Structures are given as structure tokens and as C-alpha cells.
């Protein structure tokens, strides 16, 4: 089973609402703080809060995959946290967009919903031939272009979570962690069920930096179980 869908991009004309959104963004405390802290986006504070609470980066963290990595804020945090632990981590960003990755990290421009991208990620870490599951931490702030239709946006985010879980099942080491953003909706329970099959501990969190009107949640899977799982095991009711 492998998910392979195309999520169509949308273009919108500038409207009064978009002008208001830009005005709100300019006044946002996290947006302002990100500039003074030299983070590439306010999303950095979401991962900082998640790591403060659950310590997803630790002294065993050597190989990290950042899914939906543009513009690079989460990659910056991964780099910052591992440096504080005196770890020279191999941090790989993956995104549909090409951008300038933070110095000391790598980038693959690709679609996680395509098997070829999974193969590229695997190849990146293939120098660690002693370990068939070389990745210690997977973080995902991926989100499809929103339509404004709750169910459509929810199912699009579930597609991306499915892709991340498939990657984790293939490459994440025992004891590793997977952190993902998603839009809440009808399949929340199925997502949590799949995560609980793979991980010893699963938590849900809404970081303080999430906007009040947002439906985004973060699901954090900690301490990946050592047992080998097929995709049928991980998705007992079919793909999310």
C-alpha cells in the first residue's frame, strides 16, 4: 500500500480579508519575536514548546527528517537543539518547494506522497549501513493548501500524515519519535490508533503559538516500538 495523490495548488486574488490577515500577521507577537530571534517563521515556537514538554531531541538523536520543511524554521530548531547537546546531527529537510536550507543541513525537493521521495530519503541515510532504520526523529509541519472546506482540508492533512507514518514505519529506529501537524476532523481516532500501534506513548498538543482560529493539532509519538510492523498492522482499517 502506498499513497500517491496530487494535491492541487490554488491561487487566490488579493481581497480585503487577505489584507486583514497580513495586518494581523504584522502585529502577531510570535511573528515579531521570530524576527528578533532570526527564525525563519513563527512556527519555530511551536516546535520549541513541543520539545520543551516531550524532549524529542536528546543525546541519541543523530539523524533527523523534517517534512514540509520550508522555509526552514523547524530545521533551525532541530539544528539548535542538537548543537546544545553537542551532537553533530544529520538533518534532512523535505519539501515540495526549493529554498535555501539552513547551513549545516540538507534538502530534498520532493513530494512525500510519491514513493520516489521515500527512496531518496532512504538513500540519503544509506551511509549508515549498520542500521536498517537509521532515523531517530521525524518532524512534520506539512500542510496542503487549504480550501476553507473543513472536511477537504482534514482529509488532505490525513493523506500527509499517512505518508509520514509510512516513512516512519520504514526508517524510524526503535525508541525514535514522530511529531506531525494535522487538521482535526472525522479521522482523528484512526490517526491516533495507528500512532498507538507504532509508539509506546502518544500525545496530542496545541502549542501556544497556534492561532486561536486554527484547527491544527500536533500528535507526538514517542519511543517507537521495536517490533516489525507491516502497513496492514499500522493501518488495520485501511489507510487513514
Please indicate, yes or no, if residue 10 is contained in any of the structural domains.
no
**Which pLDDT score, from 0 to 100, does residue 182 have?**
98
Which tens digit of pLDDT belongs to each residue from 159-171?
999 999 999 999 9
Residue span of the structural domain in which 212 resides = 42-234
User: Residues 237, 3: contact at Cβ < 8 Å?
Assistant: no
Contact 112/180 with Cβ under 8 angstroms?
no
The answer to whether position 20 is within a domain reads no
* Tens-place pLDDT, residues 181-218: 999 999 999 999 999 999 999 999 999 989 877 889 99
Q: Tell me, what's the pLDDT at 26?
A: 47
3-state secondary structure at position 126: coil
Q: Confirm whether 223 is domain-assigned.
A: yes
CA distance 199 to 176: 9
* Residue 3: inside a domain: no
Residue with cell string 549545516: 104
What integer pLDDT is reported at residue 236 of this predicted model?
94
Q: How many other C-beta atoms can be found within 10 angstroms of the C-beta atom of residue 16?
A: 7
Give residue 23's pLDDT band: very low, low, confident or very high (50, 70, 90).
very low
The answer to whether residue 36 sits within a structural domain is: no
| Strand bridging mode 135-140 / 106-109 | unpaired
Whether 33 is covered by a domain: the verdict is: no
Q: What is the pLDDT of residues 215-230, one digit of tens each?
A: 899 999 999 999 899 9
For the segment 115-130, what is each residue's pLDDT rounded down to a tens digit? 999 999 999 999 866 6
DSSP 8-state class, residue 238: S
pLDDT at residue 24 in the model: 52
Number of domains in the chain: 1
In a domain, 205, yes or no: yes
Q: What tens digit of pLDDT does each residue of 71-92 get?
A: 999 999 999 999 999 999 999 9
What cell was used for 240?
487513514
Residues known to be catalytic? 181
Whether 89 is covered by a domain: the verdict is yes
CATH label of the domain that carries residue 69:
3.40.50.150
**How far is 66 from 49, CA to CA, in rounded Å?**
17
Amino acid at each position: 500500500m502506498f499513497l500517491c495523490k496530487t494535491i492541487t495548488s490554488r491561487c487566490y486574488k488579493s481581497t480585503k480579508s487577505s489584507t486583514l490577515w497580513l495586518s494581523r500577521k504584522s502585529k502577531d507577537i510570535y511573528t515579531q519575536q521570530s524576527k528578533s530571534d532570526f527564525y525563519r517563521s513563527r512556527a519555530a515556537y511551536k516546535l520549541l514548546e513541543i520539545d520543551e514538554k516531550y524532549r524529542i531531541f536528546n543525546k541519541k538523536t543523530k539523524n533527523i527528517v523534517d517534512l514540509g520543511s520550508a522555509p526552514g524554521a523547524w530545521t533551525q530548531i532541530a539544528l539548535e537543539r542538537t548543537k546544545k547537546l553537542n551532537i553533530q546531527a544529520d538533518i534532512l529537510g523535505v519539501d515540495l518547494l526549493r529554498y535555501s536550507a539552513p547551513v549545516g543541513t540538507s534538502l530534498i525537493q520532493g513530494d512525500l506522497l510519491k514513493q520516489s521521495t521515500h527512496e531518496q530519503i532512504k538513500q540519503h541515510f544509506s551511509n549508515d549501513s549498520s542500521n536498517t532504520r537509521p532515523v531517530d526523529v521525524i518532524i512534520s509541519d506539512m500542510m496542503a493548501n487549504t480550501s476553507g472546506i473543513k472536511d477537504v482540508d482534514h482529509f488532505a492533512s490525513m493523506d500527509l500524515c499517512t505518508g509520514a507514518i509510512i516513512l516512519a514505519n520504514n526508517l524510524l529506529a526503535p525508541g525514535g519519535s514522530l511529531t506531525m501537524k494535522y487538521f482535526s476532523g472525522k479521522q482523528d481516532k484512526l490517526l491516533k490508533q495507528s500512532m498507538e500501534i507504532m509508539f509506546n506513548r502518544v500525545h496530542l498538543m496545541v502549542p501556544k503559538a497556534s492561532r486561536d482560529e486554527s484547527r491544527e493539532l500536533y500528535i507526538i509519538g514517542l519511543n517507537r516500538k521495536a517490533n516489525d510492523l507491516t502497513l496492514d498492522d499500522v493501518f488495520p482499517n485501511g489507510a487513514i
